[in-house]
Amino acid sequence: MEHTILVLTAALPVYLIVALGPLLRKTKALTPEMDKGVMAMAVHLFYPCLILDKMLGVDVLRDPVVVFSSAGIGCSIIVLAMGVAFIAGRVLQFERGGGLRTFSVSCGVQNYGFIAIPLMVYIFPDDDATLAVMFTHNLGVELALWTVGIMLISGNRSLSWRSLLKGPIIAVVVGLLLLQTGLDYYIPTVVHRVLEMLGVCAVPLSLLLVGTTMYDLARGVRLDWRVSIGGVLVRLAIVPVVILCLAKYLPLATELRQVLVIQAAMPAGVFPIVLSRYYGGRADVAIQVVVATTLMSLITMPMIVSFGMAWLDL
């Protein structure tokens, strides 16, 4: 019960900030024309600063085993989850061209950053090591999303490695290089302070953009209960069991187990909506999966995190 209240206390502010997004859109305080610039700042400035601020000086990431296991698990879970979702989509009688690939990617990719990061910060306060491991885990997620995810949603086996040249990925790689070489010890305090000040802007700004994006895209979408219910079952029931079993039975660092508990409880990520629009998928399917799982996660998130923390003795 204590864990449940803690998770609810941590999650509600996140969802309230997301809910401010539609309000800002309706009042024209944040117009669609502003989104591109705001998102560019979040992705290429604020998030890299947050990542470096939380990674530098974290000794657990000086261990190559922890680094490779975190990124490897992050990548493997996404690929496994998309495979589970693909099978579930077949059972639900989705066809290629009728939303099967989009359903698989949407259910397979959790909201690994925008919602997971503030939840992690609240549940494990003053624990930069766990947050740093999450960023390394997320590097694996990004690799899976921009390789297997794009190939699946587009039906095209070729891909451009330039798509991996993004601010957060570069920040994680730079941070790991600095940690492995010990050069992070020589970064001036004033630089750390700048990273901290810019980094705190990343999460709230991104959550507002999640709200405006969902508001813009959800209007006019025709509801398909097969997509919504199927998405909830896959993303918030089947996949969490798989992730928690991996966290329980694989020889992983405690920090990575903590990360996996949070990731297991996450709803579907928003970015597959963008991918589906750009790579010829079914954006309406992605939107329904995101909206349904996000709303339902208000109920399931405390239960999954509470059970996971108890089962893994965290």
d(CA 134, CA 26): 34
pLDDT tier, 260 (very low <50, low <70, confident <90, very high otherwise): very high
- The answer, yes or no, to whether residue 278 has pLDDT greater than 80, is no
Domains identified in the chain, total number: 1
Structure tokens at 150: 């794009």
- The answer, yes or no, to whether residue 268 has pLDDT greater than 60, is yes
Residues of the chain with pLDDT > 90, as a percent, come to 21
Which domain covers residue 227, as residue numbers?
2-311
Report the range out of 13-17, 86-90, 178-182, 242-246 with the highest average pLDDT: 242-246
d(CA 101, CA 280): 10
Close Cβ partners of 61 (under 8 Å, ≥ 6 residues apart): 55, 67, 129, 132, 133, 136, 175, 176, 179
Structure tokens at 207: 């959550």
Close Cβ partners of 116 (under 8 Å, ≥ 6 residues apart): 110, 134, 262, 263, 266
Count, residues in the chain = 314
d(CA 194, CA 188): 10
Task: Write down the residue that tokens 């206390």 correspond to.
Answer: 9
CB contact at 8 A, 272 and 101: no
Question: Would you state the pLDDT for residue 204?
Answer: 84
Q: What is the CATH number of the domain that holds 55?
A: 1.20.1530
What is the biggest distance separating any 2 CA atoms in the chain, rounded to whole angstroms? Answer: 58
Question: Would you state the pLDDT for residue 96?
Answer: 67
